[in-house]
Chain A
Amino acid sequence: MKATRGPLSADYKVPGGKLLRVQLTLDMSQAPPAIADLRIHGDFFMHPEEAVEELEACLVGLPCDATALRPRVQAFFDGDVQVLGADVDGIVHAIVAAGRSDS
């Protein structure tokens, strides 16, 4: 079996918010497969902007399911960051959808 799968992607329009466009690769040598690389793109706002890289980095290594992702994303939102146009549910939804996509 190939060690990684991807890049996988999904777009998700946050209700009342912006369009999230997630790209990721999965490490298939883990059971369940783990996020090996992740980019959260989109037309949302985050202050400070560079925090998005911390969010992406802190999700690498996790299984690509809501149970695993939600607490980390929630902890990020609870920190000293302001996000407009995206929320915890939207980001988790977009990442999980990308993990389940065919491409």
Chain B
Amino acid sequence: MSQNWRLIRHDARPAFSNMAIDEAILKHVVAGTSPCTLRFYRWQPSAVSIGYFQSMGQEVDLAACEARGVDVIRRLTGGGAVYHDYDGEITYSLTMPDDYPGLPRNVLESYDLLCKGLVLGLRSLGMPAEFSPINDIVVAGRKISGNAQTRRFRGVLQHGTLLCEVDPHLMFTLLKVPNEKIRDKLIAGVEERVTSIRREMGTVDRDQVTQAMIDGFAGALDIELAPGELSDDELAMADQLRKERYESHAWTFKR
């Protein structure tokens, strides 16, 4: 029997609100006060996020970010540094309890399952998408989506990005490179190994792509998605998490 999920389609928000909302949803889903949730969102201003284990100072050119009005944030999830461009990506999060029916306890296997929604969505748009372990989705060998998962508070949160357009020059302006000599090589590497909706489809229709992903998740997870919004309790908790965790210097520069 298919499960009933909540679908939240958010507009653009600052990074600190986006990450706080994902965590607030997770805590409410685990507590049983909110249904399992699929959420879509954007970043305004554009932002760089780093993985839980990364060093902000090692990965991010903070002066370059500040000069361009780009926020920097540490995620609750592991994985790598990502530049979230306002126009450049579609971002989603999936939230469910860790004993969700059919969800593998093995994290790698669960990436395969949860990424299937995106894979099916991309295929419905005509792209030969495949899951590429550990946590990527590729189209004809080129990465189009990166995903990151945490398991906390007895719940599972997976968020990830679908690249709409890529600007490797800007990316490596905001992210630090090991040394200047290889900057051009890294940029060429991104052009070689990364693709985007723009490159694959020639155009970016965000509504069309988002709807394809919604249908993909519904099919992959066998779920019924009903449009919804955050509860007042979730909003209040997100506001508190934003102030106390995600906007704090202590969290941003934790490692």
Query: Do the two shown chains form a genuine complex with each other?
Result: yes
Task: Give the distance in Å from the alpha carbon of A67 to the alpha carbon of B204 in the complex.
Answer: 54
Cβ-defined partner of B255 (8 Å) among A18, A39, A47? A39
A20 to B108, CA, bound (A): 19
Q: Which residues of B contact A21 (CB under 8 A)?
A: 54-55, 58
Chain A contact patch, size range:
20 to 34
Q: Is the CB of B58 within 8 A of A45?
A: no
Tell whether, in the assembled complex, residue B52 and residue A49 are in contact, meaning their CB atoms are under 8 Å apart.
Answer: yes
Q: With A46-B78, A47-B150, A48-B152 known to touch, is A41 a contact of B107 (CB < 8 Å)?
A: no
The size of the chain B interface, using a CB distance under 8 A, is 24
Bound-state Cα–Cα, A48 to B149, Å: 11
B53 touches A41 (CB 8 A): yes
**Chain B minimum-CB-distance residue to A84:** B134
CB of B78 within 8 A of CB of A41, answer no
Is A42 in contact with B152, judged by CB distance below 8 angstroms? no
Residues of chain B lying within 8 A (CB to CB) of residue A40: 53
Nearest residue in A to B79 (C-beta to C-beta)?
A43
Q: Which chain A residues in 20-79 approach chain B with CB under 8 Å? A: 21, 23, 39-49, 52
B2 at the interface (CB under 8 A from A): no
**Selected contact of B151 from candidates A23, A42, A48, CB within 8 Å:** A48
Which A residues lie at the B interface, using CB under 8 A? 11, 17-18, 21, 23, 39-49, 52, 82, 84-85
Give 9 A-B contacts (CB < 8 Å), ordered by A residue: A41-B58, A42-B51, A43-B81, A45-B78, A48-B152, A49-B52, A49-B77, A49-B78, A82-B107
Interface on B for A, CB 8 Å cutoff? 51-55, 58, 76-81, 106-108, 134-135, 148-152, 178, 255
